[in-house]
Amino acid sequence: MRSAIALVLCLLPLLSPAQLKLVKVETLPLGKSRSWSQPRWSPDGKTIYYTASDLDGIWGYSTPGGKTVQITSDRGSGYGFTISPDGARIAWRRTLSGALPGERLQETVVGNVAGGGSTVLSSGKSVSLPSFVRSDVVYSVGNRVQGVTAGVQPAGTSAILGIEETKIAILRDGVKSLIDPLGNGSYVWPSLSPDGSKLLAYEMDRGTFVSDADGSHAVRVGRRDAPAWTRDGRWVIFMADSDDGHAIRSSEIAYVSPDGTMSGNLTSASHAIAMYPQCSPVSDAIVCSTLEGEILVITYTEASR
């Protein structure tokens, strides 16, 4: 009996729930000429791309050398831009003024990161945000998916195309469908886990949930705003914010396990009002914006790793 108890006591540290611990918070030296927003990582984790609060333009900040470059100044390009898996291209949607007063034209554009230059892929009064499916830039014209090369998406895999008609647009085996995991839902912030097996999203009335990639077996994990996967899919990072009914009064970066059983805070109110986190694909780091228009890089560690 004593030996059994001793064995259990030895195993307790291994069975204890892991926790994420804050290592440091850094502010990118971007200057205050604009109010910066919507940061995200390049696939190799060496560049942070971001936009301004008016969403007009995309910039990149090189983390090794501290160099800043502007990718485009296109109107509206900062909303929902996406980066190719090899990091060589960025795709975005831009808005142009039409021929008549009040008329607008939208275009889907893909640009080269290194050499500059861009190509218009589609145009119309309303075009979808682009997504990358491996090397292809995928977008919708009406209800038809454009840009998918036959065989580029392995059988059984999925890719998020965005939100259409309040539902989650997903590409599976080259075919687009709109899924509604919670039933009669209105969704934002959808993403697939790093291994592609799980779907994470937020439903406007019922909060954040994790499901299988096809939307089945959904588990609700509470009101976790702007949720994002960590690079290993072990945790969901989110903004724990509060408001007075008119404006955000506080927001901290926090974490929750995909089953909702474990959670905690990474930052505190002393680190500024931190919002819209995105996790590095190669390291234990998070990039986010602040209400004051700064970009923060948050480094963390997992206690049990």
Give the DSSP per-residue string, 191-258.
Answer: EE-TTSSEEEEEETTTEEEEEETTS-S-EEEE--EEEEE-TTSS-EEEEEEEE-SSSEEEEEEEEE-T
Position 206 pLDDT exceeds 80: yes
Q: Which residues contact 279 (CB under 8 A, 6 or more apart)?
A: 41, 228, 229, 230, 231, 237, 285, 286
pLDDT band, residue 71 (cuts 50/70/90) = very high
Q: Specify the higher pLDDT residue, 130 or 134.
A: 130
Please provide the distance, in angstroms rounded to a whole number, between the alpha carbons at the two ends of the chain.
31
User: What's the mean pLDDT when you consider all of the chain?
Assistant: 88
**What pLDDT is recorded for position 146?**
81
Q: Collapsing DSSP states into helix, strand and coil, what is residue 15?
A: helix
Locate 243 and state its tokens.
């408001």
pLDDT-wise least confident of 27-41, 204-218, 257-271: 257-271
Query: In this predicted model, what pLDDT tens digit does every residue of 148-194 receive, in sequence order?
Result: 765 566 666 788 989 999 999 998 877 888 999 999 999 999 999 99
Q: Amino acid identity, residue 139? A: Y
Position 3 pLDDT exceeds 60: no
Arithmetic mean of pLDDT, 231-248 = 91
Arithmetic mean of pLDDT, 103-130 = 88
* Per-range mean pLDDT, top range of 63-77, 113-127, 197-211: 197-211
Other C-beta atoms within 10 Å of 186: how many?
A: 15
Arithmetic mean of pLDDT, 189-218 = 96
Of 52, 92, 91, 62, whose CA–CA distance to 297 is shortest? 62
Arithmetic mean of pLDDT, 47-71 = 95
Give the DSSP per-residue string, 203-215.
Answer: ETTTEEEEEETTS
Position 35 pLDDT exceeds 60: yes
Arithmetic mean of pLDDT, 137-150 = 76
* Helix, strand, coil % over all residues of the chain, rounded to 5: 5, 50, 45
